[in-house]
Amino acid sequence: MTHSLLQIDVIQDGQTIPNGYIDKYNLEKRDIFYPSNGEARSNFVGIVQRDESILISIPKHFMHVSDFKIRSTPEKKKYTRLIMDSINASVLGYQNSSYDSKLDTSSNFALAAYFNIYEYFAQYGLYQEDYQEIRPNSGNKVSWRDTLRKSNKFFSNGNIIFSPLYYKKRRSNQTLITECMISILNYTQSLLGDFITLPDTSKIANKGFNKNIFNNESVILKLQEILTTTFKDINRQLIRNIIIFLKKVNDNKLEVVDIKYYSFAHTWETAVEKYLNDHFLGISKDNEVIFSNTNTQKKFIKDKISYNDANKFSYWRLEPDHVLIDDKNKFIYLFDSKYYTNLKDLNHKQFVYHILYSNGWPTYQIYDSLILPTEEKSFTEEYLKLNKKYSLRDRTPVNIYLTYLNMIEVLENFIK
């Protein structure tokens, strides 16, 4: 597939979808939401391809849509790869059981099966069935068993002469499984390689892919038959992943791709944590968050505050996103990631976090900030300053800040 011919359209998560795009790209009910003014808005981040057109839905505050539109095609592809690679990295690495990638993603493309097939390829190469070939007068190692059984015997000067000598040689036979591997790896590279960073398959690129492998029920039936007579676990796993991939493709045309994510907030949170751990340096005298260009290797964690209600009938848990407790300097950094278009009201949960940590560490100073994405340069501003008379006893007044981080910079750090 030649991506240079693709028409690239762009929308933004949370923003109005231009007229005609919903029908052109067959956007589903879940892909759209309608605010009070009734205009359809994007509810996802990802890519949707229909033949020679592809729609990119970029995250909130990644870049202004008008800016994305005037970029060159290579730049558009580069930024799309950054978005998609960040999402893939966050989905693969997320450990919080409350996140379910199956619920928060929608795709007609079996990327997980593809990566499993590639993992086999990277470790073992293309699937091959080994067999032993026995031939007369050709080879390096004599098969005496076959020579004794098949050759003619002659006596010469009291010695037995065998003619011909039979040699054994190991050979490999490529099969339907091999052809499926080649076709899946090369097809995925040709279809998505410009928009998602995929593993290197250049060694088999010249083999192309066989379109007859796809949308062919008889291929799947044959693979299922082969599976019943395959006993090695690693090979059974390979065949299962090939079947999963082909079934997914069979449900769609080859040039139809939907890879949509409905929870980019999760990606933002995961990327922010890595950025903090890599670059957070401290707080300036003016209460600005300071970041370093060098790796600082901090250890921010997602903390958990658990408690029962007053009647002990139910169990509650609060989870501040990024917490660093500096016992040496008696300082607590309390950050929470927010993937918002705009922050309009008081974030009561962050205020509760501040009170809880103040009670738990009464002698510690707390720096409290929400972390939001921006298209502009990173900066910090004051969000909440509570009057002293409402503060906790004689402690420092409650201040909460907003830290805006440039989204592209955070995502580039995340996938490097």
> Can you give the pLDDT at residue 95?
39
Averages of pLDDT over each 10 residues, the chain, 416 residues: 73 95 94 87 94 94 96 96 93 49 73 91 86 66 76 77 74 75 94 91 92 92 90 93 90 79 93 94 91 85 67 63 90 91 73 79 88 94 73 67 95 94
**Alpha-carbon Rg for the chain in angstroms:** 30
What is the predicted pLDDT for the residue at 171? Answer: 53
Q: In what order do the strands lie in the sheet with 141-142?
A: 129-136, 166-173, 141-142
Phi, psi torsion values for 354, nearest 5 degrees: -60, -45
Query: Quick one: DSSP state of residue 199?
Result: -
Which H or E run includes 258?
Answer: strand 256-261
Helix (H) or strand (E) holding 101, with range, is: helix 101-104
Each domain of the chain, given as residue ranges in start order, spans: 1-98, 109-128+175-251, 130-173, 264-415
Sheet holding 53-58, edge to edge: 7-12, 53-58, 45-50, 256-261, 105-107
pLDDT score recorded for residue 92: 65
pLDDT at position 380 is 92
DSSP assignment letter at 213: G
| Cα 4-8-10 angle, rounded to 5 deg | 160
387, 378 Cβ separation under 8 angstroms: no
Dihedral angle computed from the Cα positions of residues 374, 376, 379 and 381, in that order, rounded to the nearest 10 degrees: -70
Q: 260-294 burial string, b = 16+ CB within 10 Å, else e?
A: bbbbbebbbbbbbbbbbbbbbebbeeeeebebeee
**Residue-level pLDDT at 313:** 54
